[in-house]
Structure formats: C-alpha cells, structure tokens
Structure 1
Amino acid sequence: MAFRTPAVQLHLKTCFLLLLGGLMGAAQEQGSMFMWIDANQARILIGFEEDILIVSEGKMAPFTHDFRKAQQRMPAIPVNIQHVNFTWQATDQAEYFYEFQTLRSLDKDIMDDPTVNVPLLGSVPHKASVVQVGFPCRGDQDGVAAFEVTILVMDAGGNIILRTPHNAIFFKTCQRAKCPGGCRNGGYCNERQVCECQDGFYGIHCEKALCSPRCLNGGLCMSPGVCICPPGYFGPSCERANCSTTCLNGGTCFHPGKCICAVGFEGSRCELSKCRQPCRNGGKCTGRNKCKCSKGYHGDLCSKAVCEPSCGAHGSCVEPNRCQCRDGWHGRHCNKSKTTSFFPSPPALNMKMPLDSNKQ
C-alpha cells in the first residue's frame, strides 16, 4: 500500500469533498432528507475513516456552497477510484422524489457514460440505502475523461429541494487496462494479461462464483456448491452456527456459544428473565421489570384485574369484570343498597286546619 503524506491526504480529501458536494448542488429549504458518505467509503476515497455529511435535514453542508469557484481547481478522480457510494434516507414520513437528468461522458473513447445502481426516477427511501455512482473506464487508452452527473430532488409538493449546479463538469483519470474489463473478486491480472481468480470464483473477469449463495462466516468454496466450513459453523453455505450450549426461552444461536434472546430474557443462554418477579395472569416480560398484560389485567406485574365500568365506591374488582361488593351493597357494579325499602313511603298529607269562626 502506498504511503500518503498528510499534505497529499488533505489534498485528496478536499478534492472528494468538493466532488461529492457538487453532485448535489445547493438546498433551498429545510426538510427531513439526509445524505452522507459512510466511514468505510471515506477511508477508501480519502484515507480518513469518518462519516462525511453532505445533506442534513434537507440542507447542504457548508463546504458545497462555493462549488463553482472550487470546480476550477478540482483535480480528476484518481485511477484507482472506480465508483463512489452515497448513503441517503428520508426520515419520518417525509416524501422526496429524485430524477437523474444527465449521466453523460464527454470523452467516450476513454470512459463510458457514468452509471447508477438505482432507477433514474424514483423516491428517496425511508431506510438508509446506498446509491453508487460508477465511472466505467473503457480500458482502450490512457487519458482524462470529462463527465456530467445531474440530479434533481423534489418534495411531495413538487418544490425543488436539491439540484446539481448547471454545467457542472467532473473529470476521471483512466489508464489502459492490462486485462480488458479488469479482474473482480480479488483476482489479479498476470503477465499473460489473463485474470487469475481467487478460490471459489471463475470467468474472464473472475465474476462468477462457484458457490451460489457464497460461503459465509469464513467458509471456503472448494467446488461448485460445496463449502468447507470453519469450526463452529455448518450448513450448505456455512450459514448456521453450532452452539456448544442450548439457547433457552426461545433464544436463537447466531454464533458459536452466543445466543440472541427473545424479548424479556437475557444471559449467555437466555436463562434469565428481565423481570425480577414473574408476570402474573398470563402476562409476558417485555423489558427490564416491564410486563405486557393479558386482556382484563393491568399493573406492573399484571396482578390487578380490570372491571369496565368500575366497581364504584362500594366494591373492588377481583376478576376481570367481576366486582366484590361491600356489606350493604349489591349489583353488578355495587351501586345498589340492600337497605332500600321495597315499598315506597306514602306521600305526606298537606292538611289545613279550619279557622275558628269565633276568633276575631
């Protein structure tokens, strides 16, 4: 691996930050769209393992604001960089729509038109997804190719949120390939200009796998469809882990000696409940001392019954929709008194005494 001085790394970093920002242009208003270069891709591009945020809440990062001036001093993309991966996402319920309006090489004898791994027209996904922009050198001759990548992003109302600057031109350095088309999957071009492939791959470009699906967890493809698995794994593609201990309470083994536990359990074998006291009346532990209760019960341990409507001031709920009434009260909701007479009292008589005619 070639050693890069800090000055060279800084130069490359500036180059790619300007390029990546230029692919998206300037934002007009805020929103819930994000785009970034993840740390793994950044390490390949510039040697710095850090996320590079390009768009945050629908607003471009500051380094993209002076793109037109910076474009004049922007160097070409190096030979060893064949594509750039962007990650984008629309958060919450926001809807954004994109359109790749131009993917064009201005020097097609050196490089074919740029490529993207998504439809040219669509919506920005709500799950973080990768958009790969490829720079396909033809391999026929050495040189620097100019190319255009223009994209438009709109919100649900049709308002333009992001747009590539007009007449934005980028450059890619290409060199004549020893093996036309290149060697993939770890293959290398030998002195006879033929790709020599890694174990498990074959084809002119080492593009075909002997094992499909490929061997997982470090398995080695020895012949078509046959994987040799490392200790602790088995299955046609070495996709299953061989646990030395059994995972309990619905846990699943995902690695030798390690279990993924069902909700409400923990421990190396999922043997421990996250609830210190067991949930009652059919309740299930769903977290640290949290129970999800069956219908008709509530409370921290699902120990309290639910009566709808309530038993009022003269009773208590002892089972779902069953009230126990206090002495002197009865009825489904303990709202009837046992001391109430079954015969109503006679109405009070309103009699007037006759006046004594002898009194003056």
Structure 2
Amino acid sequence: MDTNITFFRLSLKTCFLLLLGCLLTKAVQDQGSLYMWIDANQARILIGFEEDILIVSEGKMAPFTHDFRKAQQRMPAIPVNIHYVNFTWQATDQADYFYEFQSLRSMDRDIMDNPTVNLPLLGTVPHKPSVVQVGFPCLGDQDGVAAFEVTILVMDAGGNVILRTPHNAIFFKTCQRAKCPGGCRNGGYCNERQVCECQDGFYGPHCEKALCSPRCSNGGLCMSPGVCICPPGYHGNSCEKANCSATCLHGGTCFHPGKCICAAGYEGGRCELSKCRQPCKNGGRCTGVNKCKCSKGFHGDICSKAVCEPSCGAHGICVEPNKCQCRDGWHGRHCNKSQQLTPPCHPEGERERFPQS
C-alpha cells in the first residue's frame, strides 16, 4: 500500500507542475534575466512538497512545460480547496520587460466567475521578487467543474514577445456548494444551516481533516481515513517505520533514515563497533566500555572463566561450568576425596614371618 500511496503523491505533484507551468511557454529568443517560480510555502499548499518550483530560469522554460498538448491531457482540475495560486517573478538585470493579461475568462459563469489577478492587466515585470496571484472565485450553490482561460504575454523593451500562454490553453477548476463559506470537501455537503456535514472518517469546518488512528507519525499526512502519506524515509501504516539504507547490527534499532539506536555496549553508524577492546567470550555480551555481561556458568572481565558450584576447592581447577579437573592424588566431583595408597604385595608363596611368642 505504501508504494501505491507514494506513486499517487508523485503523480499528483507532476500534474500540478504541468498545470502551473503551462501558463507560459517560450516564444522568441531566450532572455537570461527573467525568472518565475512558485515558492516553497505555496508549493506545500498546492502539492504537499515544501520546495521551490522553478518555471522560468534565465528566460528558459522548465522542461515539463515543453509539450503543452501532451501535458494538457494529463492536467487535473484544480481541487476545491485551492482558491488561488501565487507565482513569484523577477527581472534580475536593469532591462525592462512588460506583461499583458489579454484574457481572464470563465466559460462556466454559473460555477465560477472570471479569474482574478492582484495587479494591473498591463505593466512592467518588477526587478525585485513580487507575487502574482491568480484567483479562482467559485459562484452559486451547485457542484461542478468550470473551464477557464488565462492568457498572458511577456515582451521585451522592443515589443518582442518573450513568453506567452499557449494558444487555446484551457484550464479547469472544481467548485462545490458555495453556501458554506470555503465549501465542503471530501464528499461532505452543506446542510440547511449552512454547516458542512462530513462523511465518516472526516471532520473539520470544511470536512478537510481525515481521521487516522493511530495518528500519522514522523510528519506523515492523514489523507483519508486510516491512510497516511509518509514523508521520504518512512513507511508503515502510521509512518512509524524508518527506511534504513543499512541494517543495524548487534540488536540496534533503526529510528531515523540511516540512523541506528545501538544496544548497550555498541556504537557506530550501524552499531558495528563494540565498546569492549577484547571480545566477550562464551556468549558474553558487551554492556559498556570494557564491561561484559557473562552468560550463566562463566565470569571474569571477558567471561573467560568457568564457574563451578560449589567450587573445586584447593585441589582442583574449574575448566567448564560445574566441571573440575583434579590434581594428582585427588578425585571426586569437587576434588575433595584423597586417593589412599594400598600396601605392597608379596611374591607368591612367600609368607611373612612373625616372631614366636
């Protein structure tokens, strides 16, 4: 499921880039000081990725805008929750560039009014970064998708067209019931009290929030009931699992992409380094700087000594857990029994003589 969600998110990002970038295409020669982009804050609202989206750089269009006809077939309608798009533009040198909005037209006026812009329809491209806001004002009390066009030209000081909207470029905007200010999203509807009633799994004034239980962790976004979209580096139903490029060793746990929490006694990027200079023997485990926790039956700094209970005493050495090796003349499990010497034997037929009383 994580793979499908990631693919959906990337596809949504691509479609929005196509939509936003196709407002302009290159016309005549490149003009190296003209820039247009969508800043990271606006991009986060539009596509969920907080990064600048460069549309025009040094007068050159971004590659995703080159084939408008093919791109237009892949463009989605602007969603209900997007009411405007902010572009930032700038002419970086002292040359003057002029713009003209030739058309701002809705083809479905019962659903959406004509698009709006926040600056005069004719003017000069500023030399400092400035925002151009294109608005999509929904109308009426019905759901629907409105077609609209925005036509803009950018010219140099000699009147040559540098950039322009493709001919017959049509875009689309989704509108919902306007009785509830801001509209109702995710299948919610506006009731007679002008309050959004939400479908199961969604809540909020506009049904804009999805309910995920447990909550999406590590910056994950709840996109629909029980479905989290995870940020790069995480996966799992609640984005609770980190993608580690390498496996954490010696019982370490991956807690962040490429980072491990190491078990006691280990360190390093993958917990590959022991804090004990000499490895712990006989199944012992390093628990600190040159500290070993020994398994049952062994003791010592590096768990090299066996344990015998009770001990082998003064006449034996413990060589394995509860196994003694006895010195000459001693035997028994704990080397506590002395070997008795037997009297010498006499040759056959020879009898010991005792003095007569």
The normalised TM-score by structure 1 is 0.49
**Structure of larger gyration radius:** 2
